[in-house]
Structure 1
Amino acid sequence: MTTLYATLGVQADATLDEIKQAYRRAAMKWHPDRNLGREAEAHAAFQEIRDAYAILSDAEQRQIYDEVFEREMRRWQVEQEAQEEQERAAQREAQRVAQEQYEKMVAIAMRFADDGHNRDVLFGVLLGRDCEAELAARIADSVSALQASRQASAAAAQAPEPAAASGHDTPERHRRHPGAFDSFWHGLFGVRS
């Protein structure tokens, strides 16, 4: 919001002499005769400068302007703060709705993954539930990876632990996970290496 003070290029506490000097500088700069080729723009700016000077050079009009401007600024600030709060509330609500939608889509994908469906089926189901394609792909990828990880952990938990060569249990950090060689060796001889 441009003030009359800003139009003249002075501070709100400027003296009458400072206002007069600023008016002279601005009037010289924006006089239409000095702005050939930009007469319309210069005329509008020159008129604003004259109006600002007419009010600010008169003590009574300046006081009324200051009071009205201050009151209007307070009103404007209250309106701005209310509008910003409404925007923040709308943004929070949009985030809440998006989070609920995300959680719903993840729950659906988990249910289908638990039923043994692969990533492509999860993706298709999510698209069928009006999930955006990019989000559906991310959820399908994540849930499929989680399901594969769960299956691998379950398989590892069911496999017997290999014993150490000395016959003693080895600490957890030194135990090897069974690999293809171990499975082959066990299949041939019934013994773990």
Structure 2
Amino acid sequence: MTTIYATLGVQPDATLDEIKRAYRRATMKWHPDRNLGREAEAQAAFQEVREAYAILSDAEQRRVYDEVFAQETQRWQAEREAQEAQERAAQHERERLAQEHYEKMVAIAMRFAGDGHNRDVLFGVLLGRDCEAELAARIANSVWALEEARQASVLAAESTNAEATQAPEATQAPKPDDSTSNQRHPSAFESFWHGLFGLRQ
């Protein structure tokens, strides 16, 4: 907020002598005779300087101005804080709605992927649910990649189980004989530790 102190170029705690000196400088700077070619601008600034000095050079008017300005400053700050609070609340609500929309779109994509539909179908379904194209593409790509990885894991597990059940007993690893079964073999960590510090026995 512009103040009459700023108009004269002084601080709010300026003395009367400082105000007078600032007034003389400002009137010389903005006198219309010193601003040829921009007389209208200079005349307006010159008038503001005179009005500011008229208030600040009078102790009573200056006191009233300071009180009124302080009250207006508080009111302006309160209004600004209320506006900022409203903007933060609105932003929070937008983020909440966006998160809910995102979670809903992911759930839909996962359901269709689980039913065996491919990535393009997921993308089309999301577009049909008012999902932005860029977001729909990201979700479709991620969900489809996740579903492919899940299916690959299931197939690998099934294959391993099938091989284990079909393997003949002859191919199973022989049981260690009693002479060696009780011997303790060092772990990989122990081997590394002893080898590093030369403590292997």
Q: Number of paired residues?
A: 167
Query: Which residue number corresponds to residue 59 of structure 1?
Result: 59
Q: Please state whether the residue corresponding to 2:33 is helix, strand or coil.
A: helix
Q: Distance in 1 between the 2:29 and 2:154 partners?
A: 82
Query: Which residue number corresponds to residue 10 of structure 2?
Result: 10
Describe the superposition over 1:46-65 as per-residue Cα deviations: whole angstroms up to 9, x where unpaired: 11111111111110000000
Describe the superposition over 1:18-52 as per-residue Cα deviations: whole angstroms up to 9, x where unpaired: 01111111111111111111112111111111111
Q: Distance in 2 between the 1:56 and 1:103 partners?
A: 62
Q: Distance in 1 between the 2:27 and 2:105 partners?
A: 66
Q: CA deviation at 1:99?
A: 0.5
Q: Please state whether the residue corresponding to 2:160 is helix, strand or coil.
A: coil
Query: Which residue number corresponds to residue 95 of structure 2?
Result: 95
Q: CA deviation at 1:144?
A: 0.9
Describe the superposition over 1:149-191 as per-residue Cα deviations: whole angstroms up to 9, x where unpaired: 111221222222899xx948xxxxxxxxxxxxxxxxxxxxxxx
Q: Distance in 2 between the 1:64 and 1:126 partners?
A: 64
Describe the superposition over 1:115-151 as per-residue Cα deviations: whole angstroms up to 9, x where unpaired: 1111111111111011111111111111111111111
Q: Distance in 2 between the 1:39 and 1:145 partners?
A: 72
Residues 104-143 of structure 1 aligned to structure 2 (within 5 Å)? 104-143=104-143
What are the ranges of 5 or more consecutive residues in structure 2 without an aligned counterpart? 165-171, 175-201
Give RMSD over aligned pairs.
1.9
TM-score when scaled to structure 2?
0.79
Q: Distance in 2 between the 1:4 and 1:131 partners?
A: 54
Q: Please state whether the residue corresponding to 2:22 is helix, strand or coil.
A: helix
Counterpart code for 1:75: R
Residues 39-188 of structure 1 aligned to structure 2 (within 5 Å)? 39-160=39-160, 167=173
Which of structure 1's runs of 4+ aligned residues deviate more than 4 A? none
Q: Distance in 1 between the 2:93 and 2:136 partners?
A: 22
Residues 26-41 of structure 1 aligned to structure 2 (within 5 Å)? 26-41=26-41
Describe the superposition over 1:76-115 as per-residue Cα deviations: whole angstroms up to 9, x where unpaired: 1111111100000000000000100111111111111111
Larger radius of gyration: 2
Q: Distance in 2 between the 1:35 and 1:107 partners?
A: 70
TM-score when scaled to structure 1?
0.82
What are the ranges of 5 or more consecutive residues in structure 1 without an aligned counterpart? 169-193
Counterpart code for 1:45: A
Q: CA deviation at 1:66?
A: 0.1
